[in-house]
């Protein structure tokens, strides 16, 4: 099982010199994914922060083959590459094992790319899709996405005098992917590197489509100090806002059950995007979010018990 | 040895695809392209081809997966029409920009709205500036021949651009015609093997495809694309000649049909050219010096052939099957004017708009056009004057 | 890097030199600089696995230094370094003597 010590023996396949913001946790997720997947991995990424910061011509930070096509089609693009591999393998023109990883941010996955993702998963390509979820369209300037939490202040859902940030709960993307009945679905975060790395390894070992939703805090969009990126990833897990769990052929396993579950307000504190929620008139929103987090966590525990039985 | 077959245009394209046997075919159904893919799916189901068929959930993903597969070094084909082409437009542009030699039959159909399933050229004319080579076909024979030639054109190292082979929806796609096809071994020999310069699957020499290209290099990459398209003219001609030696049917950028001494010339593309040839033959028999200039390649545009083909013309009718709203004339008309600009040409040029949404064009219509040309010869025609064929007043 | 003509670069926007971003320096972005104390370091690699910029240098699985040509000074490494160890400390660039 790849813990940091084991990963350290492998080649770092993401170079320095990319232009991500200081403290960018999506880039940490990329490094961890590549350390796990290894060099024989074809990576595709939707338009977004990661794609932009890693491939400003004539520079690339990728030491694996990499393709960017457009915003909404990372899954379709990689499904095509995988089909080419299947075809060429069938013809005896290639024989080595190659991993196929498609990625997108929450905008490129929850929203504009969900059709291509759904199609690729349904078709059963042997590929892993990773959503690096930083909970808004960060690359274009922090606009709300279908993955943005309720109450979040973004550029398009500002905390105004009348409307206190985003009014909807996020789309349950991980659940939507579970409903696709694919062999492997998981939630992870680079804040728990071993867990994430284990999941990437497992997803790539499985024959067929896999999906991992990876929470990747964004210092600029979430408005917390950059050194605390890993901490905010862990807090999301320990408040049960972002449970670490995996679903293997329908069987749910929760990978981390916090002994001391923190209130969601502990995760909100210190994030500028939630500051307005601590005003007296908005406290009800935090209560509402807490109730939703509790409901989902309880349900997840029950589902785990049910499917494990 | 040719094989004489009786096929619809769609089946002719599928027959060429069977012989090409691409590594990957991506597809999403849209009328009137569907039968093309039904036929190819039968070849796949019967094990007659090795192609991996990716049956995607939209045309956008059809072109996206085609880009992914072509980037992985595969020979890739897809096919579409109308709204499907419009939906994939974003990636159509990217396929050309990434220099991927994808070949795509496009069955011409009117763009919505209102929705219509019949032929006009609004779909392919709408993406004439995407960087794809566009070959228009007159009949099922040309569909077959053009698809086979498109592979050689697209994959030529001096070109490396995707090619659309277009043919008129229903008029060609669903009409059964007799055509001559190559023997399989001749077709395979003609197509040859494909080896891409770069491949995503080459993990030992990893490359980055589709980077963020800003003010410092985007322009240079576009200049390279212009060069590829410029080179395509000579390649289309040489491939057309070589194909002629193989099949007995040579092709050029245009087909200048009885234009050498013609006083009056109609310019058209697609199936209308077949109709026009009948009229030309009839009127020639009556002693009229008329001709047809058929545009086979619209991208790259055949400037030299047009200038030559119109050398003796006193009046010319340009038949457009799509609208360029707000522009002086249809897309073909504008480009003909541009081709003649600076050549000292004094021909009277009239633009006709016809056939939108599948409105029929008959030999009578084309005869009327020729007759009108006799009356306008020598007159100056305003560039924004458009005449309509078959439109109720 | 000298800007090349359209005749000198691969077509289609291809970048053939994988990982050449390594030659692009982002070290000047730093406001704070992580200072590593080799004596205190227990080589748990908590900094290395968290660094977004591949700037923690390893040799044989152990930390040997920081790549200041790429480190942007985010401070994740110092934050992740166990409190009891504190082998990394952030200092203002203006207060560091090179």
B44 touches chain A (CB under 8 A): no
Contact B221/C5, CB-based, under 8 Å? no
Distance from CA of A274 to the nearest CA of B (A): 32
The torsion angles phi and psi of B255, rounded to 5 degrees, stand at -115, 110
Q: Is B100 on the interface with A (CB under 8 A)?
A: no
CA distance B66 to B86: 16
Is A195's pLDDT higher than 70? yes
Given a contact cutoff of 8 angstroms between Cβ atoms, the answer to whether B306 and B318 are in contact is: no
What does the block give as tokens for A179?
């409903």
Determine whether the interchain pair C22/A15 forms a contact, defined as Cβ–Cβ distance below 8 Å: yes
Contact C53, C70 (CB under 8 A): yes
DSSP, collapsed to helix, strand or coil, labels residue B207 as: coil
Any idea what the Cα angle at residue B217 is, between residues B211 and B220, rounded to 5°?
Answer: 115
Which positions ≥6 away from A171 have C-beta within 8 Å?
A110, A146, A147
User: A68 and B210 in contact by Cβ < 8 A?
Assistant: yes
Q: Could you tell me the residue ranges of all domains in chain A?
A: 4-308
Which helix (H) or strand (E) covers residue A213, if one does?
Answer: strand A210-215
Separation CA A70–CA A45 (nearest Å): 8
Note the pLDDT tens digit of each residue in B6-62. Answer: 999 999 999 999 999 999 999 999 999 999 999 999 999 999 999 999 999 999 999
Beta strands in chain B (DSSP E): 2-8, 24-27, 52-55, 76-77, 103-108, 133-136, 163-168, 176-182, 208-209, 254-257, 264-268, 290-295, 297-299, 315-320, 348-354, 386-389
Inter-chain contact C15–B207, Cβ cutoff 8 Å? yes
Question: For the ranges A186-190, A256-260, B268-272, B325-329, which has the lowest average pLDDT?
Answer: B325-329
Smallest CA-to-CA distance from B295 within B286, B287, B304 is with: B304
In which band, very low, low, confident or very high, does the pLDDT at C98 lie, cut at 50, 70 and 90? low
pLDDT mean across residues, chain A? 97
Closest of A55, C12, C4, C23 to residue B216, by C-alpha: C4
Answer whether C3 sits within 8 Å of B99, measured CB to CB: no
Q: What percentage of chain A carries pLDDT values higher than 70?
A: 99
CA B266 to centroid of chain Cα atoms:
18
- Gap between the Cα atoms of A118 and B267, Å rounded: 46
| Residue-level pLDDT at B362 | 98
* pLDDT tens digit sequence for B237-246: 999 999 999 9
Of C21, C30, C71, the CB nearest to A59: C21
| pLDDT, tens digit, 9 for 90 and up, residues A128-168 | 999 999 999 999 999 999 999 999 999 999 999 999 999 99
CA distances from A72 to A46, B60, B65, B327 (A): 7, 9, 12, 33
**b/e per residue, B236-257, with b = 16+ CB within 10 A?**
bbebbeebeeebebebbbbbbb
Residue A65, pLDDT above cutoff 60: yes
Work out the average pLDDT over A285-307.
Answer: 98
Q: How confident is the model at residue A5 (pLDDT cuts 50, 70, 90)?
A: confident
Superfamily of domain A4-308: Thiamin diphosphate (ThDP)-binding fold, Pyr/PP domains (3.40.50.970)
CATH class name, domain C25-95: alpha beta
Give residues 353 to 392 of B whose Cβ lies within 8 Å of A.
Answer: none
Q: Report yes or no: A100 at the B interface, CB cutoff 8 Å.
A: no
Whether A281 contacts A290, CB under 8 Å: no
Quick: pLDDT tens for B204-238.
999 999 999 999 999 999 999 999 999 999 999 99
Cα–Cα nearest to B296, from B134, B90, B69: B134
Q: What is the mean pLDDT of residues C42-67?
A: 97
For helices B89-97 and B218-247, the axis angle rounded to 10 degrees is: 90
Residue A287, token pair as written in the block: 């209560």
pLDDT of residue B339: 95
B47-77, pLDDT tens digit by residue?
999 999 999 999 999 999 999 999 999 999 9
Contacts of A299 (CB under 8 A, 6+ apart): none
Mean pLDDT of chain B: 97
Q: Does the CB of C18 have a partner CB in chain B at under 8 Å?
A: yes
**And the tokens for B7?**
């096929």
Instruction: Name the A residues in 36-75 with CB < 8 Å from any B CB.
Output: 39-42, 44, 51-52, 55-58, 60, 62-70, 72-73
Q: For residues A37 and A204, what is the distance between their CA atoms, to the nearest angstrom?
A: 8
pLDDT at A1 over 60: no
Residue C46's Cβ-count burial label (10 Å; 0-12, 13-18, 19+) is buried
C3: which chain B residues are within 8 Å (Cβ-Cβ)? 216-217
C41 interface with A at CB cutoff 8 Å: no
In chain C, the residue whose alpha carbon lies closest to the alpha carbon of B206 is C18
State the Rg of chain C over Cα.
Answer: 17
Residues A120, A129: contact at Cβ < 8 Å? yes
Task: Report the complex ipTM.
Answer: 0.97
- Exposure string over A164-191, b if 16+ CB within 10 A, otherwise e: bbbeeebbebbebbbeeebbbbbbbbbb
pLDDT at B1 over 70: no
Q: Tell me, yes or no, if C48 comes closer than 8 A to chain A by beta carbon.
A: yes
Q: Give the list of residues 6+ apart from residue B105 with CB closer than 8 angstroms, or none.
A: B13, B33, B36, B77, B79, B143, B147, B164, B165, B166, B167
Tens of pLDDT, residue by residue over A258-273, are 999 999 999 999 999 9
Over range A113-118, report the average pLDDT.
98
pLDDT over 90 (residue B364): yes
* pLDDT tens digits along B277-321: 999 999 999 999 999 999 999 999 999 999 999 999 999 999 999
Q: Which residues of B touch A126 (CB under 8 A)?
A: none
Which residues make Cβ contacts (< 8 Å) with residue B327, sequence separation at least 6?
B334
A2 vs A199: CA distance, rounded Å = 10
Query: Tokens 């959503």 sit at which residue?
Result: A131
- Label each residue of A118-185 as H, E or C: HHHHHHCCCCEEEEEECCCECCCCCECCCCCCCCCCCCCCCECCCCECCCCCCCCHHHHHHCCCCCEE
Neighbours of A91 (CB within 10 A): 11
pLDDT tens digits for C7-29?
999 999 999 999 999 999 999 99
Answer yes or no: are the C-beta atoms of A86 and A62 closer than 8 Å. Answer: no
CA distance B13 to B34: 12
Domains and CATH numbers, chain B: 2-193+211-247 (3.40.50.970), 254-389 (3.40.50.920)
Q: Residues in chain C, how many?
A: 98
Question: How far off is chain C from A229, nearest CA to CA, in Å?
Answer: 7
């Amino acid at each position: 099982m790849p813990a940091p010590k084991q990963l350290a023996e492998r080649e770092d396949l993401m170079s320095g010199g990319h232009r991500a913001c200081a403290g960018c946790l999506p880039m940490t997720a990329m490094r961890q994914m590549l350390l796990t997947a290894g060099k024989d991995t074809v990576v595709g990424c939707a338009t977004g922060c990661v794609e932009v910061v890693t491939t400003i011509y004539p520079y690339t930070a990728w030491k694996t083959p990499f393709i960017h096509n457009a915003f909404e089609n990372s899954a379709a693009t990689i499904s095509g590459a995988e089909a080419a591999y299947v075809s060429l393998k069938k013809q005896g023109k290639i024989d080595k094992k190659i991993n196929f990883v498609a990625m997108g941010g929450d905008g490129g996955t929850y929203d504009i790319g969900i059709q291509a993702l759904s199609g690729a998963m349904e078709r059963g390509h042997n590929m892993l899709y990773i959503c690096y979820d930083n909970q808004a369209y960060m690359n274009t300037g922090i606009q709300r996405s279908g993955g943005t939490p309720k109450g979040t202040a973004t550029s398009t859902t500002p905390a105004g005098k009348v409307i206190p940030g985003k009014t909807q709960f996020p789309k349950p993307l991980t659940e939507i992917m579970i409903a696709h009945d694919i062999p492997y679905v998981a939630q992870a975060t680079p804040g728990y590197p071993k867990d994430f790395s284990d999941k990437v390894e497992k997803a790539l070992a499985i024959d067929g489509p896999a999906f991992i939703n990876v929470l990747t805090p964004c210092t600029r969009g979430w408005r917390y100090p950059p050194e605390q990126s890993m901490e905010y990833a862990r807090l999301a897990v320990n408040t049960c806002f972002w449970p670490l769990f995996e679903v293997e052929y329908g069987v749910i396993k929760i990978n981390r059950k916090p002994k001391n579950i923190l209130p969601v307000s502990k995760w909100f504190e210190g994030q500028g995007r939630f500051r307005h929620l601590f005003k007296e008139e908005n406290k009800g929103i935090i209560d509402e979010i807490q109730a939703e987090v509790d409901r989902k966590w309880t349900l997840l525990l029950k589902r785990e018990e049910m499917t494990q039985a | 040895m040719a094989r004489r077959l009786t096929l619809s245009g769609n089946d002719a394209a599928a027959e060429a695809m069977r012989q090409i046997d691409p590594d990957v075919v991506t597809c999403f159904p849209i009328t009137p392209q569907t039968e093309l893919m039904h036929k190819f799916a039968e070849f796949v189901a019967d094990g007659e081809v090795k192609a991996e068929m990716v049956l995607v959930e939209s045309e956008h993903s059809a072109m996206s997966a085609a880009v992914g597969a072509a980037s992985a070094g595969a020979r890739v084909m897809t096919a579409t029409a109308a709204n499907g082409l419009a939906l994939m437009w974003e990636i159509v542009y990217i396929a050309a920009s990434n220099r991927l030699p994808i070949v795509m039959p496009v069955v011409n159909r009117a763009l919505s709205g209102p929705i219509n399933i019949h032929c006009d050229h609004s779909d392919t004319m709408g993406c004439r500036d995407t960087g794809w080579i566009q070959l228009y076909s007159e009949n099922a024979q040309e569909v077959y021949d053009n698809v086979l030639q498109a592979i050689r054109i697209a994959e030529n190292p001096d070109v490396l651009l995707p090619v659309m082979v277009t043919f008129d929806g229903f008029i060609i796609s669903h009409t059964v015609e007799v055509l001559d096809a190559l023997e399989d071994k001749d077709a395979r020999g003609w197509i040859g093997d494909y080896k891409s310069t770069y491949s995503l699957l080459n993990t030992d020499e990893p490359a980055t495809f589709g980077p963020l290209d800003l003010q410092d290099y985007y322009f240079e990459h576009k200049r390279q694309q212009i060069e590829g398209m410029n080179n395509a003219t000579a390649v289309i001609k040489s491939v057309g000649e070589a194909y002629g030696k193989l099949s007995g049917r040579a092709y050029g950028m245009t087909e200048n049909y009885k234009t050498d001494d013609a006083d009056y010339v109609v310019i058209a593309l697609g199936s209308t050219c077949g109709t026009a040839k009948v009229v030309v033959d009839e009127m020639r028999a009556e002693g009229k010096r008329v001709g047809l200039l058929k545009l086979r390649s619209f991208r790259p545009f055949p400037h030299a052939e047009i200038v030559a083909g119109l050398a003796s013309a006193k009046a010319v009718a340009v038949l457009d099957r799509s609208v360029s709203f707000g522009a002086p004339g249809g897309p073909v008309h504008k480009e003909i004017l541009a081709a003649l600009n600076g050549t000292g040409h004094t021909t009277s040029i009239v633009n006709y708009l016809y056939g939108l949404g599948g409105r029929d064009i008959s030999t009578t219509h084309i005869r009327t056009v020729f007759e009108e040309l006799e009356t306008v010869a020598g007159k100056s025609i305003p560039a924004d004057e458009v005449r309509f064929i078959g439109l109720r007043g | 890097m000298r800007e090349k003509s359209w005749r000198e670069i691969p077509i289609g926007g291809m970048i053939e030199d994988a990982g050449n971003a390594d030659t692009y320096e982002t070290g000047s972005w730093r406001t704070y600089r992580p200072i590593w104390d080799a004596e205190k370091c227990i080589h748990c690699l908590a900094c290395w696995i968290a660094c977004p910029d591949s700037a923690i240098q390893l040799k044989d699985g152990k930390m040997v230094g920081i790549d200041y040509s790429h480190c942007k000074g985010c401070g994740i490494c110092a934050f992740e370094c166990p409190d009891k160890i504190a082998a990394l400390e952030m200092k203002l660039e203006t207060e560091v003597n090179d």
